[in-house]
Amino acid sequence: AVLFFLLLMSCLAAYILHKYLNKNTLPEESLRRAIARNEIVPFYQPIVNGKAGTLRGVEVLARWKHPQAGYISPASFIPLAEKSGLIVPLTQSLMAQVAANMNLIASKLPEGFHVGINYSASHICTPTFVEECLKYKDSFTRHDLNLVIELTEREPLDINDHLVQTLNRLHENGFAIALDDFGTGYSGLSYLYDLHIDYIKIDQSFVGRVNAHEDSTRILDSVLDLARKLSISIVAEGVETQEQLDYLNRNDITFLQGYYFYKPVPFTELIKILLSKPNVRVRVE
Ligand code: C2E
Ligand code: MG
Ligand code: MG
Ligand code: MG
């Protein structure tokens, strides 16, 4: 009986230890493993040129292709990646896959096709960020693709000389900068003063309120006015309804992104979309 009791206790201890360890190491460790196994994959959401009816480009959106859980949304792992520093290897792995994907279809893409990548502030501020981007310069510029670095306004960004220099060097090398989630942060206006920004992406929370509240339409009106005065191009995100589209058309917003047009899709689906568009044809090299 004593032996049995000891055996039972040690089993219990092992079980508790197992639980404890899993609880404390699982999320970060499993994310680390997922990155190493290329389970963080790019989805692509087409961005439309509303006037020409053509595709302006795509935005790359991370998905965790989990062997059991299926596709997991970035909202549930990007914050952990940012907190743990894993965002750097995660985005590098994503970029390598995007570059490989784009190389496969580059000859079928219209010239100047935009490929937008979301970069976290903590990543952009690493000392070797420009060098990291330059690794991909050739595979993009060779095919006349434009790499657009999306910088979110959600997180506070320390505007210092290093950041200003980083963005300048990116520009010199043909990359463009988009200010993402515009209107949701506190510092958007000061970013526009201090940083060289090519595109403003109007957050979907503004687009979504078009016509629902007059005030939010007025706020949007003045944001669009401001962007125009600064000669910054606008991309509207989260376009879902005809009503929103009508407003954006009335206001001459050309670049549109949202479920009204396309949802984010895996690469195989993107190929189908590209082949169905009239402006996509095989270029003579
Ligand atoms: P974001 O960069 O502002 O991306 C746009 C988000 O809006 C995407 O969500 C997209 O799926 C969603 N969306 C697009 N059109 C519509 C629409 O018509 N209606 C609605 N309701 N939603 C729409 P997603 O893919 O879940 O990504 C969420 C956020 O996670 C992104 O917001 C971005 O901030 C972040 N994120 C995604 N991938 C990455 C990444 O590779 N690196 C980093 N640092 N952040 C990422
Ligand atoms: Mg974005
Ligand atoms: Mg956005
Ligand atoms: Mg957003």
Residue 279 clears pLDDT 60, i.e. is over it: no
ipTM above 0.95, yes or no: yes
Distance of CA 147 to the CA centre of its chain: 12
How far apart are the CA of 13 and the centre of ligand 3, in A?
A: 48
Q: Locate the ligand 1 atom nearest the alpha carbon of residue 81 and give its number.
A: 44
* Distance in Å, CA 8 to ligand 2 centroid: 53
Three-class DSSP category at 16: helix
pLDDT of 78 reads 96
Higher pLDDT residue, 213 or 49? 49
Distance from C-alpha of 264 to C-alpha of 258, rounded to nearest angstrom: 9
**Which ligand neighbours the alpha carbon of 78 most closely?**
1
pLDDT mean over 171-191: 85
Q: Whose CA is nearest to atom 27 of ligand 1?
A: 74
Q: Which of 86, 162, 153 is nearest to 124 (CA)?
A: 162
Among 110-124, 135-149, 249-263, the least confident range: 135-149
Question: Residue 36: which residues within 8 A CB-CB, separation 6 or more?
Answer: none
pLDDT above 70: percentage of residues in the chain: 92
CB burial readout 102-112, b (16+ within 10 A) else e: beebbeebbee
> Under a CB-based contact definition with an 8 Å cutoff, are residues 87 and 65 in contact?
no
* pLDDT for the residue numbered 22: 54
282 has pLDDT over 50:
no
Question: Which numbered ligand comes closest to the C-alpha of 185?
Answer: 4
- In this structure, which residue's CA is closest to atom 45 in ligand 1? 118
CA dihedral in degrees (21, 24, 27, 32; nearest 10)?
-70
Mind listing the pLDDT tens digit for each residue in 241-262? 999 999 999 999 999 999 999 9
Alpha carbons 278 and 275: distance in angstroms, whole number: 8
In this predicted structure, the answer to whether residue 283 has a pLDDT above a threshold of 80 is: no
Counting from 1 in the atom list of ligand 1, the atom nearest the Cα of 257 is: 15
**CB of residue 181 inside a 6 A radius of ligand 1:** yes
pLDDT mean over 23-48:
91
Closest residue CA from atom 17 of ligand 1: 238
Q: Which residues contact 222 (CB under 8 A, 6 or more apart)?
A: none
CA–CA separation, 45 and 56 (whole Å): 11
**94 within ligand 1 shell (Cβ under 6 A):** yes
pLDDT band at 199 (very low <50, low <70, confident <90, very high): very high
Euclidean distance between CA atoms 202 and 43, whole angstroms: 21
- Residue 153 pLDDT more than 90? no
